[in-house]
Chain A
């Protein structure tokens, strides 16, 4: 439907450091796009700039060809689901869902039909006359979704809509949101701090930290090919080792670890050149434990945690703290033992430190 373009968008308050810094990204038509990051990273501010509640200090926002940077929020035609749902307590369920249709001067008969259809779509048939405070959290969430979708918005904005639900309901609802979005084919921007949620739902993810955009990519991209050390650790967790590039072959590199001087082969070397100070990300499950002296470098086991399918090792190697996860089996090393560590060359990835 409508692509959304953020053209070097920034926001700062007074002379303080910018809350959002030069975000440049295009959200494709019909795409489910997630802004992911820890709290205070600027993801909500970015969403609120798209909604029109916050005016960017720099840059432009475009819906398709239309520059809406300074368009009042009520004239943008977006649908938004708020974190606390923001349902009007003085209207019943139908009144809430109809609100956007009334402002759009949709005739009464059509309004009733569309409200009923929207409530059916979210599984709330027969709830039209309920007061908001008679609904459970999950039901309120679905009313909020119906209210945002019934106006056929050009862009759907979702601000942590699942954070107030319990774990089980969260998983059900995220399937429901995803389905509704795909059926309507609406360009959607979703804000969350939960990386699992982002991975499960998104077509693409933008990872933000301290107002800066670290990486935009598919869930697989950001997981397997993180651009920065922050992305690698924030998504899925990873060991990030400081290193220097020694040699480049195509998109692969040989690097020398700062800590031990050991040489590793990594992927993700596009644009790097010998002598660059970089970092290597190796996820806990991409290390193999060997006997001392047989891996790329040696380490000492400090702690072992049994978590079911795997055993989680905390190790110390040349002043570094590392995590390694291996399938549980008899005869694994114990705290105090020396081991060797061999990273899986296929999954070692060069990132910006």
Chain B
């Protein structure tokens, strides 16, 4: 994910080792897989977009009519999301990293929680909490007699609210990293030269935070453009929604056009982000410790801090709590009450008792395991190839493997459906649409960048002279890989693989486009249950996803505590 501006590593730059041919041997299969599953499907979609009513009319529709409106709606909601996420994420980062107050440590954990929720669960919990029939407007109505329709959020505002409260971690994480990497003596120098606190912020801290803010903004914009679940639940016709309805209404050419347009925007943002992070304008040149946290001094400030911290904790935990709460409610019994009135464990029992209810879990787990296994092999190999590649082409390989991460899940779904619909030259005669195989392929494509990124980060921490020492002691390239490189980056590979696995289990956006009839993965099943108002059962599935995610996050954080890992593993979670 984003590599926020961290303090430069103080490692002596060794003269580069001349490359091994082995790198090229390994690069071939990696490139072949990426071509087959990422590049060619994207190209197939682009070709399809010229069909139907023809190229000109398809693309012309983006500037007017339904597609045009959808594009405009996507842009507006994304810009608003960036704005709100920026404010929330930055304030939270400054609050949690520069001030000391009760509950501060716990809040740093809860602050990244929204990103850990599967996108569908996140969106559902916000509907349960803040929509007109949601818990918050109803409690305000019950307690203060305020009309729920004035306190509820829906439509575009609802989408922006979901985005603001689930995507602010992109800002929060990058600003936190920048604050942590900042040398406190810079502020001291400014103060020493006569600057007051406002001037220090304006002239020193904010310019130093600019790279973090820009990467946060680019990332949030990309993710909001790609968002599908929030628009679907609030029924806002963004471009992703249009793509799905164009496909389901039997206009694949229009869907392909919209997908291609969205791909172009996403790729442009990916390149933009790479370019910007390559520039790295203001970085702390000196190594040093960040300045100390400031504790509130007056009693009133302390009390306010404690109350604020409590409120913040409740707001951040509410989405998880509401899912867990509703998972114990009786389906259909919760109508006009503030909270569900009747509770039961039947929802869970029913899921495990009935094979038909267990099927979505088994589909999701099996396809994710398969996808993760494949992602480990390809992602780790690709990371190693990119790290050791000398000469040209390295940047291109890096872009191609990160491409699926930038592409909206909807687009990946459409690309795969278009490419593997019927036997052809591009897919080597392989038809995956309608079979269960399309799911692991989609999950692999979507989440291989996680393994790649996480492995790359570990490889960057790896001192190249270790591999040289092994070579010097007589080990061939394969033995070096097996006895030195692999054991030392294993934590990174596993951390990435665990994230890929949970994201696969929670995947909804691409699944809903491609899942084979009768074999719904977990998230699609959750949506179906919500559609039929079985909130209890839907939430029970969701709660299981949350438990799985929390377990995996705990494990991968332990992995992350290894001596060679700096970034929290949670920094690599996507949302949609």
Spell out A's residues near B (CB within 8 Å): 19, 44-45, 48, 51-55, 72-80, 82-84, 86-90, 99-100, 103-104, 133, 147, 151, 157
Contact = CB atoms under 8 A, between A and B. Distances in A.
Contact of B466 (A51, A75, A88): A88
A89 B470 CA distance: 12
B465 interface: yes
A90 B484 CA distance: 8
Most-contacted residue by chain A among B12, B18, B472, B474 (CB, 10 A): B472
B559 to A, nearest CB: 14
B563 A99 contact: no
B15 A99 contact: no
Nearest to B469: A86
Given A86-B468, A88-B466, A90-B488, A74 B476 contact: yes
Interface string B458-477: 00000101101111111110
A84 B473 contact: no
A82 B479 contact: no
Contact of B473 (A44, A53, A100, A133): A100
Contact of B471 (A52, A83, A84): A52
B65 interface: no
27 contacts: A44-B14, A44-B15, A51-B468, A51-B472, A53-B18, A53-B468, A53-B471, A54-B16, A73-B468, A74-B471, A74-B474, A80-B468, A84-B12, A84-B465, A86-B465, A86-B466, A86-B469, A88-B484, A89-B488, A90-B487, A90-B488, A99-B483, A100-B474, A103-B475, A133-B563, A147-B469, A151-B473
The 8 A-B residue pairs whose C-beta atoms are closest, nearest first, are A100-B473, A103-B474, A86-B469, A86-B465, A53-B17, A80-B472, A73-B471, A55-B18
B505 to A, nearest CB: 31
B474 A104 contact: yes
Given A83-B12, A89-B488, A99 B470 contact: yes
Nearest to A11: B15
Contacts of A73: 468, 471-472
**Chain B interface bracket (under 10, 10 to 19, 20 to 34, 35 or more):** 20 to 34
A78 B18 CA distance: 18
B474 A54 contact: no
Contacts of B479: 103
Contacts of B466: 86, 88
A261 B15 CA distance: 47
A74 B472 contact: yes
Contacts of B469: 80, 82, 86-88, 147
Given A82-B465, A99-B473, A147-B473, 5 more contacts: A74-B476, A84-B12, A88-B469, A88-B470, A99-B475
A192 B488 CA distance: 30
B11 to A, nearest CB: 9
Given A74-B472, A74-B474, A74-B475, A86 B463 contact: yes
Nearest to A77: B474
B15 A54 contact: yes
Contacts of A74: 471-476
A19 B15 contact: yes
Contacts of A79: 472-473
A54 B17 contact: yes
B17 A151 contact: no
Nearest to B475: A103
B249 to A, nearest CB: 56
Interface string B532-576: 000000000000000000000000000000011000000000000
A19 B564 CA distance: 32
A98 to B, nearest CB: 10
